[in-house]
A = this chain, B = another copy of it.
């Protein structure tokens, strides 16, 4: 089916968007932004899970065309019934570019992703939510996938621990990992990497034995934002699939009303 004919227009209505433009300026990205749609997302094991995504969908517009056809982006959301993943995204981006008659385009899906976690001592299960952005971009025939995951963790301050007679300030932190990879890197993998390097990981339900465990675990494992971004980056430096990465840590300091923040952009040693 020709996508241009996918939906009938009453013939005599003028098509302003298709007229010729003379300003001699191509548009890098044009499309729709901040549309919410229910979606299914695949985890590493191929299991689909229902979520709600905020979607941005853009194509490049050549110099000589006045406007794009905005309704076709949403037609694609409406028609697409497969679960979204770091793998299937490429087909969706290519389909969008064909429907919009463009050589380049970009899709960004931001959504909460849930994992079932067992508490460290009691084994009690609960879900934890992670904010994920899945991006796919086609430029000059080359497809790039980018995955961004915000992993909430506990951070405990090494300085506070070292200088205080007892206790140490700690707080919730966001460790955000953004990777570009030719081969698929799964959401779950990035979460595992971050949770393994944090002072402690978070859980929805903690019974008292679990709370004792995570309290002591964080105290045994203090990290500055500098430590967190270095320890996570070291693992990404060693991952051959990762062609580019950004690791950020933001501590919502419990002793201040502002954040401590650090970022490493890599790889630095390849």
Binding site for B on A (CB under 8 A): 7-10, 13-17, 21, 23-38, 49-52, 56, 58, 61, 66-68, 70-71, 74-75, 77-78, 112, 114, 121-122, 124-129, 152, 154, 156-160, 162-172, 200, 202-209, 211-212, 214-216, 218-219, 224-227, 229-231, 233-234, 237, 250, 252-266, 268-269
Q: Is the interface of A mostly helix, strand, loop or mixed?
A: mixed
CB neighbours (8 Å) of A52 from chain B are 51-52, 112
CA distance A220 to B252 in the complex (A): 22
CA distance A151 to B145 in the complex (A): 32
Given the contacts A170-B171, A206-B71, A262-B27, A257 and B214 also touching, CB distance less than 8 Å? no
Given the contacts A78-B125, A203-B255, A204-B258, A226 and B49 also touching, CB distance less than 8 Å? no
| In-complex Cβ contact of A112 among B31, B36, B77, B208 (8 A) | B36
A-B contact pairs, 27 of them (CB 8 A): A9-B207, A16-B159, A26-B268, A27-B230, A27-B262, A27-B264, A29-B263, A30-B261, A34-B258, A35-B257, A37-B114, A38-B49, A66-B227, A71-B206, A71-B207, A74-B126, A74-B204, A157-B211, A164-B215, A165-B212, A167-B167, A172-B254, A202-B257, A204-B256, A206-B255, A214-B255, A215-B255
Given the contacts A202-B255, A209-B10, A252-B252, A67 and B112 also touching, CB distance less than 8 Å? no
Q: Which residue of B lies closest to A30 (CB)?
A: B262
| In-complex Cβ contact of A129 among B36, B68, B252, B268 (8 A) | B36
Q: Are A126 and B205 in contact, with the CB atoms below 8 A?
A: no
Report which residue of A31, A152, A164 has the largest number of chain B beta carbons within 10 angstroms of its beta carbon. A164
Q: Are A226 and B27 in contact, with the CB atoms below 8 A?
A: yes
A132 CB to closest chain B CB (Å) equals 12
Q: Which residue of B lies closest to A253 (CB)?
A: B172
Given the contacts A21-B230, A25-B233, A258 and B32 also touching, CB distance less than 8 Å? yes
Report which residue of A49, A71, A259 has the largest number of chain B beta carbons within 10 angstroms of its beta carbon. A71
CB neighbours (8 Å) of A209 from chain B are 9-10, 13
Q: Are A211 and B78 in contact, with the CB atoms below 8 A?
A: no
CB neighbours (8 Å) of A159 from chain B are 16-17, 67, 208, 211
